[in-house]
Amino acid sequence: MKSEKTVEELQATHSIPGVAEVVIGNGGLPKVVTQISACSGEIYLHGAHVTSWEPADSEETIFVSKESHWEDGRAIRGGIPICFPWFRNKADNPKAPQHGFARITSWTLNSITAGSDEVKVELSTASNADSRVWWPEDFKLTYRATFGKTLGLELEMHNTGSSSLRFEEALHTYHRIGNIGNIRIGGLDGATYLDNTDSNKSCYQQGEIEFTSQVDRAYLGTDHSIQLLDPPMGRRVTVVKTNSLTTVVWNPWKEGAHSMSDMADDEWIQMACIEASNIRDFAIELQPGQQHTMRATIFVEKL
Ligand code: TA6
């Protein structure tokens, strides 16, 4: 579903001159771009999809594929897709869109607000005839992306219906990295994970994660911070999670990337996904009227 307002209308209502503008992005899709002294950043209304965050003292942190589709109804490859209300396939319907419908929905831009050296963009979407095709529940989802020295992401889910519901969620963040063979991910030592490359076999993480083949893992009961150590880029990226009890780590490796039409053959080397999430047994149950907010805050330090 396309955005109901034109880019000109959104720009007239929400832009903050010299700080944040609503412009036409790739594929004609509207996006909010911000340029302040702390950082530059951008978020598409399509999927409420962050596609860039470049802190002032660092290079771009977010990977986006040059082969990505940019069209209504298809997910952007890279950036920060929002997976909701299920993760991967929908168990009872193989035809349902992988990772849910939030990332292929056009969200409503609610507001852009400027704070002291940060810009907050708030978008929302709610149950409607399109969502009910796949999921019967009544809900409202609000997403706040705060661009500054840190990148703040906040996904707020509200059960607006009259019965309890259960959902999965993930902020499927594609981190831009120097080289997959030379990075390490810390903060998950001792955690149990389900290995999706091996029928979700339960495994035990010892030490840091290093990448020597395809990795597709859901780390369970992990609420602590994750560090992405990237010597080639000379930086450490930290993801601080709140109300997120699973962490998915993914790199498709050569074979996986080659099977994707929307990723160039060598791009798997430049990306690693670390996903604040609540999936599988950690799916969230909400009673009528209840809310749940998952947060991820990302910051960069020089090594
Ligand atoms: O987060 C990991 C994962 O679920 C993998 O299993 C892999 O399929 C990936 O996401 C990408 O999914 P997508 O639907 O965007 O191709």
Q: Does the beta carbon of 250 sit less than 6 angstroms from any atom of ligand 1?
A: yes
- Residue 44, phi then psi, degrees to nearest 5: -85, 145
Q: What pLDDT band is residue 226 in, cutting at 50, 70 and 90? A: very high
Handedness of CA 188, 191, 196, 197 (dihedral sign): positive
Of 84, 89, 90, 172, the residue with max ligand 1 atoms within 8 A of its CB, to mutate for a pocket test, comes to 172
Handedness of CA 172, 149, 292, 161 (dihedral sign): negative
pLDDT score of 4: 77
Handedness of CA 168, 249, 45, 142 (dihedral sign): positive
- Output the residue whose Cα is nearest ligand 1's atom 14: 98
Identify which of 159, 134, 8 has the alpha carbon closest to the alpha carbon of residue 73: 134
Q: Do 72 and 46 form a contact (C-beta atoms < 8 A)?
A: yes
State yes or no: pLDDT of 3 exceeds 70: no
* pTM of full prediction above 0.95: yes
Q: Does the beta carbon of 192 sit less than 6 angstroms from any atom of ligand 1?
A: no
Q: Do 253 and 268 form a contact (C-beta atoms < 8 A)?
A: yes
User: H helices within the chain, ranges in order?
Assistant: 7-14, 129-132, 253-258
State yes or no: pLDDT of 259 exceeds 60: yes
102 DSSP assignment: G
- Output the residue whose Cα is nearest ligand 1's atom 6: 216
Q: What pLDDT band is residue 139 in, cutting at 50, 70 and 90? A: very high
Q: Average per-residue pLDDT in the chain?
A: 97
Peptide bond into 85 cis (omega under 30): yes
Q: Do 193 and 219 form a contact (C-beta atoms < 8 A)?
A: yes
Q: Does the beta carbon of 216 sit less than 6 angstroms from any atom of ligand 1?
A: yes
Measured between alpha carbons, how far is 28 from 6 in angstroms, rounded to an integer? 11
Identify which of 53, 75, 54, 55 has the alpha carbon closest to the alpha carbon of residue 65: 75
Evaluate whether the domain defined by 7-179+240-302 bears CATH number 3.30.300.30.
no
What is the mean pLDDT of the segment spanning 171-190?
Answer: 98
Q: What pLDDT band is residue 48 in, cutting at 50, 70 and 90? A: very high
State yes or no: pLDDT of 22 exceeds 90: yes
pLDDT score of 298: 98
Q: What pLDDT band is residue 82 in, cutting at 50, 70 and 90? A: very high
- Output the residue whose Cα is nearest ligand 1's atom 5: 216
pLDDT score of 2: 57
What is the mean pLDDT of the segment spanning 99-109?
Answer: 98
- Beta-carbon neighbour count of residue 206 at 10 Å? 10
Quick: pLDDT tens for 159-173: 999 999 999 999 999
- Domain ranges within the chain, ordered by starting residue: 7-179+240-302
Residue 173 exposed, middle or buried by CB count within 10 Å (0-12, 13-18, 19+)? buried
